[in-house]
Structure 1
Amino acid sequence: MSSKFTCLRSARLAARYPCRRRTFATAASSRADHVRIVEVGPRDGLQNEKQSIPVATKIELVERLARTGLQTIEAGSFVSLKWTPQMANSSEILEHVLRSTPQSPHPITYQWLLPNVKGLDNFLSVLKSHSQAQQDPYPSPPPSPGFDDGPALNTSSQDPNAMPSSSSGAEAMGKPRGASSSTTSPVHELSIFTAATETFTQKNTNCSIAESLKRFEPIMARGKETGLNVRAYISVALGCPYEGPNVDPHKVAELAVSLLEMGANEISVADTTGMGTAPKTLELLKTLNAAGVDKSDLALHFHDTYGQALVNSVVALEHGIRTFDASVSGLGGCPFSPGATGNVATEDMVHCFHSLGLRTGVDMEKLSEVGEWISQQLGRANESRAGKALLAKIRKELLT
């Protein structure tokens, strides 16, 4: 199949009739032993904190995380401050990242959550202001009319007859993809969110699932125009605080297909309540696969409310998933999911994956230090068992 979305209409039927399996993903698979961690602490981790967190602390958290080897960081959100006041400084964080790229061993992708066109407008306004500020106020004058020096000498090693390569919108905005230098300007991506149940969607976004998809259409279109990838979250995929623990996996699959058909580049399937279990996780992944949703299109987002996040992550690993969301020090919760505790701690997930012989590119010691630091800043307990154990071991060794 040549196009990723050629058979999405058929994939909708496949979600209802699993025997008619269709696969539409064509993206090349990454190395089987490498796992990509999406660090959601600065956004999903902090949004539920009751105390006001200084913007300087949020910026420092992003900078410290960048130095650990993480390659994707969800840094903020452009949402209604009435409902999520903790995210009031996201524009300042974006401005800082644009103005002073955090030091990192790898190029970093920064993700920004937004619920609607207004959020997108606010995000793009910051990008536009930065772009205008970077422009040379004294541009070189155009050549005099009628004067021609003749063809310029080709001093490059490239084929002189080769056509110039086209640049994506992201590259045009100074965000080249795939570069290996830590001085490379970061890539920025958008995140949108809906949910697998009507009640949660109404509580979270004050609209139905169908209406939420309608809201995403202009975001997808403008994201494509500007070269910005779009990630889509599906919340409460393994249990809803209002409709119970048995969310229909076929609804999740159909929603994932709809989002991919609209142009989403990645689907993060979220166990927002932490109700997920190993059997339910496996059933959901099999249903998504039967619907034609390729594993390379998926990320898994687990909360650890019932202590099942790492178990479910290993199940997903065995199913071929290689992208996982996590939050440093186990920060998080959901203001619209009563009783839900934090995301799985990034330190615990990295330790687990490393123990299985997988690679993440993350420095576990540096990450654990960040977890301890942010916990102290917030005056809360560090929820990472692996992080606390590693730091205790290091301190003991220093004393001997």
Structure 2
Amino acid sequence: MSAERVTIYEVGPRDGLQNEKTVVPTAVKAEFVTRLLAAGLPVVEATSFVHPTWVPQLADAADLMGLLGDQLGESARDLPVLVPNERGLDRALELGLKHIAVFGSATETFARKNLNRGLEDQFAMFEPTVRRARDAGLDVRAYVSMCFGDPWEGSVPVDQVVAVGKRLFDLGASQLSLGDTIGVGTAGHVKELIGGFVAAGMSVDQLAMHFHDTYGQALANAFSALQEGITTFDASAGGLGGCPYAKSATGNLATEDLVWMLHGLGIETGVDLNAVVATSVWMAEHLGRPSPSAVVRALAHSQE
């Protein structure tokens, strides 16, 4: 295994909570973020400036960032947030945030359901958002969803994903995160997709992988991506998450499961596994159900 260190991009507070029906109090969300940071996670995506009618759970985004500012000081401005459009960017700029992400789609149907735009039209929406963010000195990450399959369109051709992803990245992003939104990817498919992006001129250090565990393949897919040279992986503490616009999307790759595998391979993450487990157990109590993460269940039981 070539990688000596992997960066885990923690998405629990945003992608993990966005699909929860029970509204989590802002103070609990803030503690979730601060606990994850204290556990050594280098990047924690805090929230999304999406319209509250789309994702009610994240309606408190500005309040959350204000509370985190009170608790963390200037470092709160380093926490990335998702912005769906220029209006969301305006809110991020008002708060002096330094890192944003945009969220595109590799398929026509999901673009229309999630963005209310066609596959082609999404670029016209993102271009001014990314340009203005870059002009203001912000770092921009680009997500592309439905990279391995779409619940309405079925399998998605690799060349289509590469074309959409590279175009999003070329708007001015520093990193492209490839999402298996409904968790249908397999290890061989992962290798093929990464190879497609490399053949199109992108380097593996410009790519991140975002796996969901619907079919129990997320960890195997992460191992496959690791073998291809990927060193940034999105994960969600406790395996929380899903997509409000794709009902077949279940939880994200659990941060704890990923850390357990990486540490077993001798790869550094800087993450205190027991601290993340304790945080996931704490959050599971707030949500009223146990964590789906196998490592959380195993370690929480062993610590009792």
Could you say which TM-score interval applies, normalised by the shorter chain? over 0.9
Which residue is 2:88 aligned to? 119
Partner SS, residue 299 of structure 1? strand
Does the 8 Å contact 2:36/2:279 carry over to 1? yes
Which residue is 2:225 aligned to? 316
Which residue is 2:300 aligned to? 391
1:110 paired with 2:43, answer: no
Which residue is 1:67 aligned to? 38
Alpha-carbon distance in 2 for matches of 1:232, 1:209: 15
1:231 paired with 2:141, answer: yes
Higher gyration radius (CA): 1
Partner SS, residue 45 of structure 2? strand
Which residue is 1:83 aligned to? 54
Alpha-carbon distance in 1 for matches of 2:64, 2:54: 19
Which residue is 2:245 aligned to? 336
**Cα deviation, residue 102, structure 1:** 7.2
**Cα deviation, residue 299, structure 1:** 0.4
Alpha-carbon distance in 2 for matches of 1:67, 1:237: 32
Distance 1:386 1:270, change over 3 A: same
Question: Taking every aligned residue pair, what percent have the same amino acid on both sides?
Answer: 44
* Long gaps (5+) in structure 1: 1-30, 128-186, 396-400
Which residue is 1:165 aligned to? none
Alpha-carbon distance in 1 for matches of 2:179, 2:78: 20
* Among 287, 290, 303, the residue aligned to 1:381: 290
Counterpart of 2:153, as a letter, is E
Alpha-carbon distance in 2 for matches of 1:375, 1:293: 39
Does the 8 Å contact 1:237/1:270 carry over to 2? yes
Does the 8 Å contact 1:193/1:232 carry over to 2? yes
**Cα deviation, residue 307, structure 1:** 0.1
**Cα deviation, residue 213, structure 1:** 1.0
**Cα deviation, residue 124, structure 1:** 1.6
* Among 201, 213, 226, the residue aligned to 2:123: 213
Flag the structure with higher helix content: 2
So what's the TM-score if we normalise by structure 1? 0.73
Partner SS, residue 123 of structure 1? helix
Does the 8 Å contact 2:241/2:251 carry over to 1? yes
* Long gaps (5+) in structure 2: none
Alpha-carbon distance in 2 for matches of 1:391, 1:188: 36
Alpha-carbon distance in 2 for matches of 1:379, 1:117: 36
What CA deviation, in whole Å up to 9, does each residue of 1:91-133 have, x standing for no partner? 11211233331799xx994110011111111222233xxxxxx
Alpha-carbon distance in 2 for matches of 1:215, 1:311: 35
Counterpart of 2:30, as a letter, is I
What CA deviation, in whole Å up to 9, does each residue of 1:331-389 have, x standing for no partner? 00111111221101100111011111111000001010001000011101211111221
Alpha-carbon distance in 1 for matches of 2:98, 2:238: 24
Spell out the pairing of 1:281-292 with structure 2 (5 A cutoff). 281-292=190-201
Does the 8 Å contact 1:220/1:262 carry over to 2? yes
Alpha-carbon distance in 2 for matches of 1:41, 1:370: 11
**Cα deviation, residue 391, structure 1:** 2.6
Does the 8 Å contact 2:3/2:226 carry over to 1? no
What CA deviation, in whole Å up to 9, does each residue of 1:233-276 have, x standing for no partner? 000100101101x2111111112221222111100000000000
Alpha-carbon distance in 2 for matches of 1:74, 1:111: 5
Q: What's the Cα RMSD here?
A: 1.7
Q: What is the total number of aligned residue pairs between the two structures? A: 303
1:92 paired with 2:2, answer: no
Partner SS, residue 209 of structure 1? coil
Spell out the pairing of 1:233-312 with structure 2 (5 A cutoff). 233-244=143-154, 246-312=155-221
Alpha-carbon distance in 2 for matches of 1:334, 1:278: 22
Which residue is 2:13 aligned to? 42
